[in-house]
Amino acid sequence: MEFEIEYQRGRRRKRRRSAAAKLLIWIFQIAAVIFLAYFIINIVLEKTSMLGDSMEVTLSDGDVIIVNKFAYLLRPPKRGDVVVFKQSGNEHDYYDIKRVVGLPGETVQIMDGAVYINGELMPEKINCEKMLIPGLAKDRFTLEEEEYFVLGDNRNNSEDSRFANIGTIVREEIVGKAWLRLNEFGFIGTMNRYKEDAEEKP
């Protein structure tokens, strides 16, 4: 009799331990999902909107953009990337979105409406107009370490590195890479490319 009672007690303890283990696993799974969602939303990705038409026809005013904040953790921005940045000291609370043209250590100059990198004409991979105003890039200058020269795709209606109120940007000011356009869904890296470049990865 005593053996049977002890046996039943043992079974109840095992059931309680099993239920407790299942509860702990369930709590851990919920916590992991919450952490992953927080990490993706706040660390890896961010949503913003395009303001103005400086990136036409690639991006239009009001387009909702997903920013990949993880893109430049292991590698620097490359030429042609559309980057999202906020410059230090600017009072406005919105992000700027422009395309990287000049990289650290390169010389940049705008002549006859085109960009010259290290004295050579830069082949354009996007559809854009010849620039009417070279601005600060009228004379050749060299980008410093961690410094980038950016332009809007709407070259004749864009405030960008040609103008003093924007100027060049530095690596630490870059929030991330403009990755997806949510309305009229598409990868930004493949938009507005010449036909021969349309199959490149975003």
Correct CATH for 50-197 of 2.10.109.10, 1.20.120.420, 3.20.20.80, 3.40.50.10210: 2.10.109.10
Closest CA to 87 of 166, 148, 176: 166
| pLDDT the model gives residue 184 | 87
pTM of the model: 0.78
Specify the amino acid at residue 129: E
pLDDT tens for 7-52 read: 455 556 666 666 667 777 777 777 666 655 555 556 678 899 999 9
Q: What does DSSP say about strands 186-187 and 96-102: parallel, antiparallel, or unpaired?
A: unpaired
| pLDDT the model gives residue 56 | 96
Decide: 191 and 58 in contact? Cβ < 8 Å: yes
Closest CA to 163 of 143, 142, 139, 133: 133
- How many Cα atoms within 13 Å fall on the side-chain side of residue 47? 7
pLDDT tens for 124-183 read: 999 999 999 999 999 999 999 999 999 999 999 999 999 999 999 999 999 999 999 999
Beta bridge partners, 188, equal none
Instruction: Please give the span between the terminal C-alpha atoms of the chain, in angstroms, as a whole number.
Output: 74
* Catalytic positions: 54, 98
Closest CA to 59 of 187, 201, 195, 163: 187
- For residues 125 and 136, give the distance between their C-alpha atoms in angstroms, rounded to a whole number: 23
Domain boundaries, the chain: 1-46, 50-197
Q: Which two tokens stand for residue 30?
A: 């919920």
